[in-house]
Amino acid sequence: MRIEIRSAHVFGMTPRETARAVEWAESGWLYALGLLNSGHHAGFTVVFGSGTVAEWSVRPLRYLELRTTDDLARHVERTHPRPELSS
């Protein structure tokens, strides 16, 4: 995202927007990283000289652990052992 924002000035950003983009790419991304680490989304918007608006946004990713049925069977066996049957 930082690289895209840094290079977007070639698409016709105004000098003010270019300064904002460079400042965000230099240090503003640290605030965005803090937001992501705390579970919030972050973004950055610029307006080009033509009036076109570009927005970059990122959201935190939550991982879901995928297991095979064999993994699940071993987990269930460890956490819920079957009672031994007496004969």
Please give the Cα distance from 37 to 40 (Å, whole number): 7
pTM: predicted TM-score of the whole model, two decimal places:
0.52
Digit-coded pLDDT (tens) for 16-56: 888 888 888 888 888 888 888 898 988 888 888 888 888 88
Please give the Cα distance from 5 to 42 (Å, whole number): 14
Residue type for position 87 = S
